[in-house]
Amino acid sequence: MKSPLLDSEVVHDILGIGFGPSNLALSIAVEEHNKSLPADSRLNALFLERQPRFGWHRGMLIDDATMQVSFLKDLVTLRNPTSDYSFLCFLREQGRLIDFLNQKTLFPLRVEFHEYFEWAAERVSHLVSYGSEVVSVDPVRGDDGEIAFFDVTSLDPSGSGTTTRRARNISVAMGLEPHVPPGLELAERIWHNSQLIPRATELADAGQPVRRAVVLGAGQSAAEAVDYLHRTFPDAEVCSVFAKYGYTPADDSPFANRIFDPEAVDVYFSAPSEVKQSLIDYHRSTNYSVVDMELIEALYATAYREKVAGRERLRFLNVSRIRAVDAASDGGLDIAVEFLPTGEKQVLSADVLVLATGYRPRDLSSLLGEAAKLCLRDDGDEVRVGRDHRVETVPEVTAGLYLQGGTEHTHGLTSTLLSTVAVRAEEIHRSVQAAKLPV
């Protein structure tokens, strides 16, 4: 009998929350597998996305920025090299395959890879409901106490109400949220780098002068923001503030890169907790607070040319921290910067402060509500997750809850990266499919 709380009698085998690259890869895995099965054996899948259309880090799609992973680590190739959802198939359809190959590179433009994601997302658009922000996930308890379903409620795209759907399994892929350091708040002139391009464009289009822009951070996004602002506002001084002595090069050497191999996830997952922490510590330089050497050298060369010319627009305030940010009388910002070795402070009058301060996993409890209380946790109060990315729950739960991201503590550095997105999609799909098969 249909529950009065439900807006459809359909029970989804898998319902995805969020539709970035991770759940996009899962949707393709489901779509390709379903095509080989009779209708009554296929997985019924639906994905809910709060954005009105597909978008992935749009605010950092700088025109000349390249990907930091090989194009072969696309949505499908490591799972199914013959898939027609691959980046190479996208290039062939766009008429650019030969042109791309002639570049002799494994790393496409970020803008072009985003076009590839959009192309793939359009091909599975029948599996997605855009403009549907999930507001609650409720466990459905049967008369015998078993929880075999989750009811997922989302805002309607029209904004006129909500829709509740029932699912046997949910795949949570909400991505990360911008991290804002304590004591700072986002404002008209204080941006997180995730909004870099649209906010800078607004200033440029409005004809508002930018005399000085300050960027806080020492990672790839920070360096890219410095370079972008320096080029976008040719009359502005751009100051890069970071606690290090200088930018640290990313370790992209072949042996270190093996930490992103699918097999490395197996090794990490089965390792003792102290070994897990050691692996993270040893290989942080592959991903965290590091910059591509090519960009480091380009920024240094620019700064040196300006020094020779006697007009230094690019400044690096190293071994420094921002201690205070106050509104200035002219509508700008007064930014107090401390040089850590001496404690000496200077106040920079700036028009813009960009926080290239990274991202943090989203709070799972705020989304899952009562369902979060069913999840088991380890000694560090982290959610326990199986090798198939399924959250371990109390015994009465037979419905599946899968995490795509937020599992660095169990699955390693690839948790929030594209490196194993295709393989992870296959692992989740296989797990859901196995649960659907009769025992």
* 422/329: higher pLDDT: 422
The percent of residues in the chain predicted with pLDDT above 90, rounded, is: 87
Mind listing the pLDDT tens digit for each residue in 169-198? 999 998 889 999 999 999 999 999 999 999
Task: Tell me the pLDDT band of 324, cut-offs 50, 70 and 90.
Answer: very high
Indicate whether 438 pLDDT > 80.
Answer: no
- Looking at beta carbons, which pairs linking 146-152 to residues 24 or more positions away fall under 8 Å? 146/396, 146/398, 147/374, 147/396, 147/397, 147/398, 147/399, 148/398, 148/399, 149/11, 149/399, 150/15, 150/371, 150/399, 150/401, 151/5, 151/6, 152/15, 152/17, 152/48
Neighbours of 248 (CB within 10 A): 17
Question: Tell me, what amino acid is at 267?
Answer: V
356 within 8 A of 222, measured Cβ to Cβ: yes
**Mean pLDDT, rounded, for 229-243:** 96
pLDDT for the residue numbered 175: 86
Indicate whether 222 pLDDT > 50.
Answer: yes
> How does the average pLDDT of the chain come out, rounded?
94
* pTM metric for this prediction: 0.94
420 within 8 A of 262, measured Cβ to Cβ: yes
**Mean pLDDT, rounded, for 339-361:** 96
The three-state secondary structure class of 398 is: coil
pLDDT for the residue numbered 34: 95
Sorted by where each starts, the structural domains of the chain and their CATH numbers stand as 11-175+362-436 (3.50.50.60), 179-247+311-355 (3.50.50.60)
Query: 137-141, 205-209, 425-429: which has the minimum mean pLDDT?
Result: 205-209
pLDDT for the residue numbered 439: 44
CA distance 186 to 189: 8
**Mean pLDDT, rounded, for 9-36:** 96
Indicate whether 1 pLDDT > 70.
Answer: no
